[in-house]
Amino acid sequence: MSTLSARPARPWPGSATSRPRPRWSPSRRRRLAADAALLLIAAAFLLPLAWLVLASVDSDATLRVSAPGSPTLDNFSAVWTDEITFTPMLNSLLLCGGATILTVACAALAAYPLSRFRSRVVRPYLLTVLFTTCLPITAIMVPVYGLFVQVDLIDTMSGTALFLAASQLPFAVWLMKNFMDGVPVILEEAAWTDGASWLQSLTRVILPLMGPGITVVMIYSFIMMWGNFFVPFMLLLSPEQLPASVSIFTFFGNYGQVVYGQLAAFSILYSTPVLLLYVLISRRLGGGFALGGAVKG
For residues 297 and 279, is the Cβ–Cβ distance under 8 A?
Answer: no
Q: Assess if residue 48 is contained within a domain.
A: no
Q: Assess if residue 258 is contained within a domain.
A: yes
User: 237 vs 292, which has greater pLDDT?
Assistant: 237
Which of 130-144, 155-169, 188-202: highest mean pLDDT? 155-169
CA distance 198 to 17: 77
Q: Is the pLDDT of residue 77 over 80?
A: yes
| Least reliable range by pLDDT among 87-91, 161-165, 171-175 | 171-175
Q: Assess if residue 272 is contained within a domain.
A: yes
Q: Assess if residue 42 is contained within a domain.
A: no
What is the band of 9 on the pLDDT scale with cuts at 50, 70, 90?
Answer: low
Q: Assess if residue 194 is contained within a domain.
A: yes
What is the band of 162 on the pLDDT scale with cuts at 50, 70, 90?
Answer: very high
**Residue 198's domain spans which residues?**
85-286
Q: Assess if residue 252 is contained within a domain.
A: yes
Mean pLDDT of 201-224: 86
- Overall size of the chain counted in residues: 297
What CATH number is associated with residue 256? 1.10.3720.10
CA distance 270 to 283: 23
User: 234 vs 195, which has greater pLDDT?
Assistant: 234
The 10s digit of each residue's pLDDT in 220-258 is 899 989 989 999 999 998 988 999 999 888 777 655 578
Q: Assess if residue 74 is contained within a domain.
A: no
Q: Assess if residue 139 is contained within a domain.
A: yes
Give the chain's domain count.
1
Residues in CB range of 40: below 8 A, 6 or more apart: none
For residues 190 and 275, is the Cβ–Cβ distance under 8 A?
Answer: no
User: 47 vs 18, which has greater pLDDT?
Assistant: 47
Give the SS3 label for residue 258: strand
